[in-house]
Structure 1
C-alpha cells in the first residue's frame, strides 16, 4: 500500500465507524448471499456479536496500517485462528468482495474508484498475510 492509499482508508473509515452495526449486518448479508456455503461456519455464532468483532478488527487494522510491525503479526494470528475454524484460502476472495460491496453501500457517493482501490489494496495485504499464516502450519507438518 502506498501512503496515499493508507490515508484514504483511514479517512474513509471515519465515515464507516459511526454506522458500524448496520455495516456489519450488511457485510454478513452480502457474504452469505455471495456464498451460502459459508453460513455453517457461523452456525454457533451470535452474528451481532460477530459483527461487533468484525468492526473492532477492521478498526484495529485501520489504526495500525502505518505500523506493519504491529499489524501483520496480529493479522497472521487471526489468520491462523480462522484456518482452525475451517476458513479456506478461496474464502478470502468472497470476503473481500463482500467488504467492498459493504463499503460501497455504506459510503455511497464517497466510495470512489480511488477509495475502492485503496481498500482493495489494504484487504489484499491482510488476506495474503492470513492465508500465509493458515498455510504455514500445514507446510511445516
Structure 2
C-alpha cells in the first residue's frame, strides 16, 4: 500500500466512524443479501458483532501506517476464523459488502481513488488472514 492509499483510507474512515452503527447495519444487510448462507455463522443478536466489526476496522485502519505492528493480530483473527467455519470464499463476500457499505456511507466522498485504496487495504488484510487460517489448518 502506498502512503497516499493509507491516507485516503484513514481520512475516509474518519467520516464513517460517526455513523458506525448505520454503516454496520448496511454492511451486514448487504452481506446477508449476497451470501445468505453465512447468516448462520453469526449470533441472532448482532448488536455486539456490529460493534466488534467497527472496532476491528478502526484498529486496522489506524494501524496501516505500521502494518508490521498489526499483522500478528490480523493473523490471529484469521486463525480464529477456523473456529467459525469461515472459508476463503467468505472473504470475497465480506469485501463486497464492505465496499458497498463504504460507498453508501461516504456518498460522493467515495471517489474512485478512495474505493481503490479500500480495495487494496481489504485485499492485503484478507490475504494475511486467509494465509494464517490455512497455516493453522495445516499445522
TM-score range, shorter chain: over 0.9
Determine helix, strand or coil for the equivalent of 2:86.
Answer: coil
Distance in structure 1 (CA, Å) of the matches to 2:136 and 2:82: 10
Deviation at 1:45, TM superposition (A): 4.8
Distance in structure 2 (CA, Å) of the matches to 1:45 and 1:10: 31
**Partner residue in 2 for 1:7:** 7
Give me the TM-score of the superposition, normalised by structure 2.
0.97
**Partner residue in 1 for 2:25:** 25
Deviation at 1:137, TM superposition (A): 1.7
Q: Is the 8 A contact 1:25 1:48 kept in 2?
A: no
Determine helix, strand or coil for the equivalent of 2:88.
Answer: coil
**CA distances 1:85-137 after superposition (whole Å, capped 9, x unpaired):** 11101100010000000000000000010000000000001100110011002
* 1:53 equivalent in alignment to 2:52: yes
Gaps of 5+ in 1: none
Distance in structure 1 (CA, Å) of the matches to 2:21 and 2:100: 16
Structure 1 stretches of 4+ moved >4 Å: none
**Partner residue in 1 for 2:117:** 118
Deviation at 1:53, TM superposition (A): 0.3
Q: Is the 8 A contact 1:23 1:106 kept in 2?
A: yes
**CA distances 1:28-65 after superposition (whole Å, capped 9, x unpaired):** 000000110000001x3521110000000000001100
* 1:100 equivalent in alignment to 2:62: no
Distance in structure 2 (CA, Å) of the matches to 1:45 and 1:99: 20
In the alignment of these two chains, the number of paired residues is 139
Determine helix, strand or coil for the equivalent of 1:87.
Answer: coil
Determine helix, strand or coil for the equivalent of 1:67.
Answer: helix
Q: Is the 8 A contact 1:34 1:94 kept in 2?
A: yes
**Partner residue in 2 for 1:109:** 108
Distance in structure 1 (CA, Å) of the matches to 2:136 and 2:49: 26
**Partner residue in 2 for 1:82:** 81
